[in-house]
Amino acid sequence: MKEIKEPTYWTSFEELHKDPSHLDGRTNEFADGADEVIKLEDMSGVSRRRFLALLGASAALAGTGCTNYRGHGKIVSWSKQPEGVVLGRPNFYASTCSGCEDACGVLVKTREGRPIKVDGNPEHPMNQGKICEKGQGSVLALYNPERIRKPMKSLGKDKGFQSLEWTQIDSEVQARLKALGTSRVAIVTNTVNSPSTARLLESYRSQFKADVFAYEQFSDSTRQKAWKLSHAQGSFPSIAWHKADLILGFESDFMSAGSERMKTVREIASRRSLDNGNHFTRIVLVEGDVSMTGANADIRHAISPVYHLDIVLGLLHEISVVRKLSDYGSNPSFLKLVSGMDLKSVSEKTGLDLASLTGLADDLVANRGKAIVHAGDLHSLNVHLAVNLLNAALGNQKLYETKQSKVQFFPVHSTQELKALSDALLAGIYSVVIHLDCNPVYDLPADLKYAEALGKVSTVITFAQLPSETTHLSHYVLPDNHDFESWGDYQNKEGIISLQQPVISAIYDTRQAEGCLLSWSTAKPYTQDLWHDFVRNRWEKEFYPGLKLSADFVSFWNSCLHDGVFQFAYKPSQLSPIIVEQTVSSVQKSQSTGFTLILRPSYSVGDGRFASNGWLQEMSHPISRVTWDNYVAVAPAVARKLKISSEDNVSIKVGEEKMILPALVQPGLNENTLVVEIGYGRQNSGVVATGVGFNANRFLKSSGGLSAHIYDGVELNKAVGSYTLASIQEHHQIDLKGPGILLEKLTDPHLRREIIRENSLTAHQADPQWLAKRQEFKKKHVFSIYEEEQKYPDVKWAMSIDQNKCNGCGICVVACSSENNIPVVGKDQIKRGRTMHWLRIDRYYSGKAETPKISFQPMLCQHCDNAPCENVCPVGATTHSPEGLNDMAYNRCVGTRYCANNCPYKVRRFNFYDFRSNFAKGHYYNEPMDLAMNPEVSVRSRGVMEKCSFCVQRIMDSRQEAKKAKVQFNGLGVTTACQDACPTEAIQFGNVNQPETNVAKAREHELNYHVLEELNVKPNVTYLARLRNSREEVKS
């Protein structure tokens, strides 16, 4: 066999075009600005003499003043010992996250009564022990120093607020509710998926003539609406992703957004492995944007969302009319809809080449009944309807599962549909508006004039944890409890109900919104137990009797609280057949011009409600790796035409709304498509969120777009100036090649890096030893500077990362920040290349800038056997443990940074500051942030180096437990935080000396490889090469 020609990998345009200044920069130890600490203008004006005098005086003062240097402070004991708390041991509580409508079960780890880490609840059938980055970040939200601590009343518009006591709020609000007269109450909330909250809101409906408006900026409401139209009944069912051999997505980012995300990625990952004789699933994505799912797709077609309807109709025409595989062909209105939609015309119209289109049709036909076609949440109703038709024509309903269909207590509106609310507010129908921890002033399209409408309302009450645009315009701002301080029950799937319990008592003078509403409607004084009693009573009176259990209610309730979730039997509804006529008649075709703008949710801060979370702001965009900002993504061809490059300002005009944003040239983007993330540009929302990025909600319109979040006819022009985006793309980068030398010319294996290894599935099946052969070539050239190999007879720790399963989501990064007390450094420091994440996800492109393939590679300390960092440390601060760990003793480190310089993987991080005090004037030093720290991990100070420790605190804990139990420590059951968080189980960790561990098996796998094996540093993190199930022929 001829040697496979390796694709050329690149991470930026500078690299692709071999910009000499960029390549020179690569050879520097630190990125520009990273090591520049001293700036003359920043320095104090104190003279040298005066400085020395002050130094001497303060030393003398310290010598005489601090006489009690022996004092170790006080030990403060409990007055009355709480039950079940052992000093130094964690307690775990099952609860529910209410961050989005998925309501995942969570397991909260508390130490001495304070929550320090969150993971998914393994008992929960939907998320099965995994939660998203927002859930991981909820610890930081609990301790956010900017949480509203006292109820406040407005002193008038823009005049600020005064703190009040709750009793006064109670009497004022209750008086308002009694004196409603003919006017009504509007309750505005995000999705309500708590049956008890729904009951409470129902009581407000009858008691106070209240109307409930539940809305979401991003939800599957369009898909549900399409389902109602084409199937007449029921709601969109769950998809059995693990049964799909082919997944065809249209602008569908099902791996990073949308409902049931944890279930989706878990099920897809189970089909992305060579093990268990599974057939690899094939993911095909047709999208304008370059989404995370697109990066993971086997085949990706960059087609503007405007043409997706045509492609679906073309496929319908091919399948029903040309190949006659469905009975639609006899339906005249269907024939009218698809007339002229043969593949050739579709190909000409959409720009998707005929071969790909035919291949797609062949794939769909070959996988009839085993494929799923999926349109994204952002797409228009028309595409969803057409996709429903296509799925039905192919018999793909077999993959729909009605047994876990969605439950909704109030219809969830899209933001556009809240026009009724703002019209009614303007008309003066409502005199009281209650916001339940939602932010409609920011979320709703500007043309609804919601802020103006609120001005007509005499009493605006907002329950909120954090200041926001909406609290700013409210008369009463009432601090709400965090999830971890709240009671509740949640149900968004048939047959599954989960409980939420407080794991810490309210830190401030806050109330749970539901409890407060209950105290107003029942005129009972508020207590922490009020809402608990309501929920429990409802369960006892209404839910428990219907279950006909033999256990008494108290044991039932306690066991549900313990498990956090309860599953019960019910009769699943039947899958209703598609109503072709009605579906067909609802599809409307449209024409479009100009650029198409996609407004998508931010990967990290969602629709903006998580914008106050520093961990999430600092988590990078999976593709562009930009942090702390949004931007407009433009295609390389457009950038060339407009003569712009990344970070140049451009102006976008959507209808009448014009905005200036920085551009980012995104390889692979469709050239008629622009993408802007929503969730940024918050105002009046505290130091973390305010002013980060640009408010793209201004582009939202209540009507007129292709869908709520896709607009056509957009104008794009170059604008003056530029804006710096804090991208970590070029930071801590492993040198792909020797400086300035082309890969092809290299003969020395030490300069042929081949960091990413991937192949097509067919090529792998033809020659499973392709990787081994390549490694063989490298192994021949290695040499060691050590005479003797170190032996690890007892335990040897290692990690294996499966790049087939890793989808680059970054949940592990946030989990690591939470577990290991990693500071938030802020945009300014990120720009200087001073990110502190111990674990980063490198993104590589390969191929052409227009159609790149995208690869992800989580990169962390490799705990090399022959660690190059260890033998350059002048003070022995980083040494090797007998179990193969590369230890780091912070107190020995003097900050020479030699280790970082000598690390080929660039995974060491230096504390250029005490970042907690440096970020936003010490924001994360404020009370009560110290409670968020993991007490098992040192908080690093300025001037020391740090890096991934393989969660050594967890290893030591497990080892100590084994020692206590007097058993031989075998390392089974030790997990790292990133491994626990990984929803696809791509990260495996364990003792390789135990042959039954996953990591030991992975090391024997035919796809196993080490990054930079030729250096012979013997890394203990190994990777499984990615296989792409593409249609390409094997090139030999």
Partner 1 sequence: MDKQMLDYNIRVRLPIILVAVVVAYFATFFAGFKERNMVGYAPEQPIKFSHKLHAGDLGMDCRYCHTAAEKGRHAGVPSTDTCMNCHSVARADMPEIKKLKEYFDSNEPIPWVRIHKTPDFVYFNHSVHLASGIDCAQCHGDVAGMDVVQRTKPLSMGWCLECHRTPQEQLIEVTGPDNQKSAQLVRKHAGGQHCSACHR
Question: Which stretches of the chain bind partner 1, using CB under 8 A?
Answer: 70-81, 86-89, 879-882, 885, 887-892, 936-938, 949, 952-953, 955-956, 960, 963-964, 966
Question: Collapsing DSSP states into helix, strand and coil, what is residue 71?
Answer: coil
Closest CB to partner 1 among 84 and 181?
A: 84
Q: Shortest Cβ distance from residue 952 to partner 1 (Å)? A: 5
Residue for token pair 């590679």: 857
Nearer to partner 1, 98 or 949 (CB): 949
| Among 643, 634, 697, 639, CA closest to 289 | 634
Cα–Cα distance measured from residue 945 to residue 942, given in angstroms and rounded to the nearest whole number = 9
Q: Which is nearer to partner 1, 109 or 231 (CB)?
A: 109
Q: Residue 985 is encoded by which pair of tokens?
A: 């189980």
Q: Which is nearer to partner 1, 678 or 816 (CB)?
A: 816
**Distance (Å) of CA 280 to CA 239, 246, 262, 269, 986:** 18, 9, 20, 10, 15
Q: Minimum distance from CB of 305 to partner 1 (Å)?
A: 49
In whole angstroms, how close is the CB of 84 to partner 1 at the nearest point? Answer: 12
Lookup result for tokens 């303007």: 426
Rg, Å, the chain Cα set: 29
Q: Measure the CA–CA gap between 863 and 883, rounded to whole angstroms.
A: 10
SS3 639: helix
Q: Which is nearer to partner 1, 521 or 938 (CB)?
A: 938
Strands 595-601 and 673-678: parallel
Which of 355, 875 has the CB closer to partner 1? 875
Asked whether the beta carbons of 912 and 942 are under 8 A apart, the reply is yes
Minimum gap (Å) between residue 88 Cβ and partner 1 = 3
* Smaller CB separation from partner 1, 113 or 428: 113
End-to-end CA distance of the chain: 7
CA distance 127 to 246: 23
Q: Between 721 and 793, whose beta carbon lies closer to partner 1?
A: 793
Nearer to partner 1, 393 or 955 (CB): 955
Work out how close the CB of 978 gets to partner 1 at its nearest, in angstroms, rounded to a whole number: 16
Q: How far is the CB of 970 from partner 1 (least distance, A)?
A: 15
CB of 57 to partner 1, least distance (A): 20
Q: Least distance from C-beta 71 to partner 1, angstroms?
A: 8
Note whether 528 and 546 are within 8 A (CB).
no
Kindly state the smallest distance separating residue 963's Cβ from partner 1, in Å: 5
Q: What's the closest the beta carbon of residue 378 comes to partner 1, in angstroms?
A: 44
CB of 63 to partner 1, least distance (A): 11
Shorter beta-carbon distance to partner 1: residue 206 or 968: 968
Nearest by Cα to 833 from 943, 939, 688, 729: 729
Helix/strand/coil (H, E, C) string of 960-1014? HHHHHCCCCCCCCCCCCHHHHHCCCCCEEEEECCCCCCHHHHHHCCCCEECCCHH
Q: Which is nearer to partner 1, 461 or 867 (CB)?
A: 867
**In sequence order, which ranges of 440-575 are alpha helices (DSSP H)?**
440-443, 450-454, 469-472, 513-522, 529-538, 544-547, 553-563
Q: Which is nearer to partner 1, 888 or 1007 (CB)?
A: 888
Residue 342 near residue 354 (C-beta atoms within 8 A): no
CA distance 630 to 645: 16
Q: Say if CB 173 and CB 516 are below 8 A apart.
A: no
Assign residue 85 a region (left: φ > 0; alpha: ψ between -120 and 50; beta: otherwise): beta
For 409, the 3-state DSSP assignment is: coil
Nearer to partner 1, 703 or 891 (CB): 891
Rounded to a whole number of angstroms, the minimum distance from the CB of residue 142 to partner 1 is 23
Amino acid at 890: Y
CA dihedral angle for residue 738, residue 744, residue 745, residue 751, rounded to 10 degrees: 30
Q: Which two tokens stand for residue 136?
A: 């991981």
Pick the closer one to partner 1 by CB: 174 or 953: 953
C-alpha angle 67/72/74, rounded to 5°?
Answer: 120
Contact 151, 476 (CB under 8 A): yes
CB of 934 to partner 1, least distance (A): 10
- CB 880, min distance to partner 1, A: 8
Q: Residue 839: which of 1013, 956, 989 has the closest Cα? A: 989
Closer by beta carbon to partner 1, 535 or else 885: 885
Q: Which helix (H) or strand (E) holds 1021?
A: strand 1021-1024
Identify whether the C-beta of residue 469 lies closer than 8 Å to the C-beta of residue 442: yes
Minimum Å gap between C-beta 77 and partner 1 is 5
* Nearest Cα residue to 567 out of 502, 491, 501: 491
